[in-house]
Amino acid sequence: MTQRVTHHYYHVLRLRELRRLYWAQTIKELASSMVSIFVPIYLYRLHYGLPAIMGYFVIGTAAWGVTQAPLLRWSMRIGFNRAMGLSLLIEGVQILMLATIPHLHWSLWLVASIWGVSLSLYWPQFRACFIRSLLHRQIATATGVSSALLMLALGVAPAVGGAIASWLGIGVLYVVSMVCFAAAAAPLLVGSEIIGRDERFDWREAPWREAWRDLVSNMGSEVDANIAASIWPLAIFLIVPTYVGVGVLSSVGVIASIGIALYVSRRRLRGMGGYLKHGVNIVALTDAVRLAVQSAGQIAGINLFYGLGQALLVTPFYSRYYQNAEREALLPYLYAMQMACVLGDLVLWGLLLLLSLVVPVRVVLVVGLVFAIPAGYIIRLIRAPQTA
């Protein structure tokens, strides 16, 4: 009887922790997505050259990589919840700095560096807390719910952000985004810690060789996501030159994507490889078709199929990610996965920065979109649980 009560309490506690993470992640992505896809467009409209915009991403990524290990250790001292909450407040400050660039003339390298610090304080901590909050048999279901909420935020946010930016001004959009960041941070800054302080972290224990397939897969996922979130919106803007146009076209397909993500989450873990394969194929195909886009209608169709592909692959991908993390030293594994993202982003943004010095804007954007094709395919490399 005591064991049953203890198990029930443990189960309820885990559900409460997951709800806090669902709330924080959904509101954070809502706030980020309302703004992030418009950052390159915003800087472009402020007459920053493409080299400066690419340099912004290079510096932000470099700051993320340099600060990852020390801030992960510091997070273990103050608590992962607090680190994530602090990250959201810092990201809100970064948004405020972007909003006031025309008046206060902040240096782009400073704004980018603050963004990089916020990434270091959030992502490995979030992944660690999410994994520790899961009961093993619930990985697919919890990941599916998380993916559906994420897609809801990613789907609604661009349209809402585009409407606010076009009708009320980009400054109002930044203020709304900052309020959302504060709302996301609140439940993380109060209450009990989700992850214990007994977790160990030594970057030398990172499974660089053992988990190389996971690292390459995560690198591809990161690069493909950044191209979809930053390069593709700027390419759309050159065809549909309004914030609201970019936002609405970026939101196409969200309802279908949410339904598919929840459906996939109810399948058996062993049978998810097929969904991952089909999702990757759809994403890679739409990445290729982007190169021939010429109209708003074509953009809408591409975004619809891209969203469907993401819905198919995201639950299997993160289910494998989290199961593999359970079989490794948790924090070293997450550190290695984050550094794989940093490496992929540095290669992407660094190459585009160099290209932007010698070729026109449209050529740089085409090369960036070409990068998405192999990046989408290598997502399939992530190890299945039985081979982890």
- List the chain domain ranges: 2-190+200-387
Q: Region of 141 please: left (phi>0), alpha (psi -120 to 50) or beta.
A: alpha
Taking a C-beta distance cutoff of 8 angstroms, is the pair 291, 139 a contact? no
**The pLDDT value given to residue 11:** 39
Of 23, 123, 108, nearest in space to 65 by CA = 123
How far is Cα 246 from Cα 45, in angstroms, rounded to an integer?
A: 14
**The pLDDT value given to residue 187:** 83
How far is Cα 316 from Cα 13, in angstroms, rounded to an integer?
A: 25
How far is Cα 191 from Cα 266, in angstroms, rounded to an integer?
A: 31
Q: How far is CA 240 from each of CA 115, 163, 243, 298, 305, rounded to the nearest angstrom?
A: 28, 14, 8, 12, 19
Let me know how many helices (H) and strands (E) the chain has, helices first: 16, 0
**The pLDDT value given to residue 12:** 39
**The pLDDT value given to residue 118:** 95
Q: Which fold has domain 2-190+200-387?
A: Growth Hormone; Chain: A; (1.20.1250)
Token pair, residue 301, equals 């169709």
Rounded to 5, what percent of the chain is helix, strand, coil?
85, 0, 15
**The pLDDT value given to residue 16:** 67
How far is Cα 127 from Cα 262, in angstroms, rounded to an integer?
A: 20
Of 348, 147, 379, 212, nearest in space to 281 by CA = 379
Longest dimension (CA), the chain: 73
Token pair, residue 164, equals 């606010």
**The pLDDT value given to residue 147:** 62
**Virtual CA dihedral for 18, 22, 23, 28, nearest 10 degrees?**
140
**The pLDDT value given to residue 254:** 61
Token pair, residue 376, equals 């989408």
Of 17, 35, 19, nearest in space to 181 by CA = 35
Residue 48 Cα to chain centre, angstroms: 25
For residue 290, what is the DSSP state? G
Token pair, residue 111, equals 């704004």
Length of the chain: 388
How far is Cα 180 from Cα 95, in angstroms, rounded to an integer?
A: 11
How far is Cα 31 from Cα 180, in angstroms, rounded to an integer?
A: 6
Angle at 122 between CA 117 and CA 127, to 5 degrees: 145
Name residue 358's amino acid: V
How far is Cα 16 from Cα 264, in angstroms, rounded to an integer?
A: 24
Residue 60 Cα to chain centre, angstroms: 14
How far is Cα 315 from Cα 52, in angstroms, rounded to an integer?
A: 36
pLDDT along the chain (388 residues), means of 10: 34 58 79 81 91 97 97 91 92 89 93 96 90 63 63 66 78 84 85 70 88 96 92 88 69 61 60 80 91 84 83 85 88 96 97 96 95 94 75
**The pLDDT value given to residue 373:** 94
Token pair, residue 204, equals 């030398």
Q: What's the predicted TM-score (pTM) here?
A: 0.87
Name residue 56's amino acid: Y
The 8 Å CB, 24+ separation contacts for 14-20 are: 14/133, 14/134, 14/135, 17/129, 17/133, 17/194, 18/130, 18/133, 18/134, 18/142, 20/187, 20/188, 20/191, 20/194
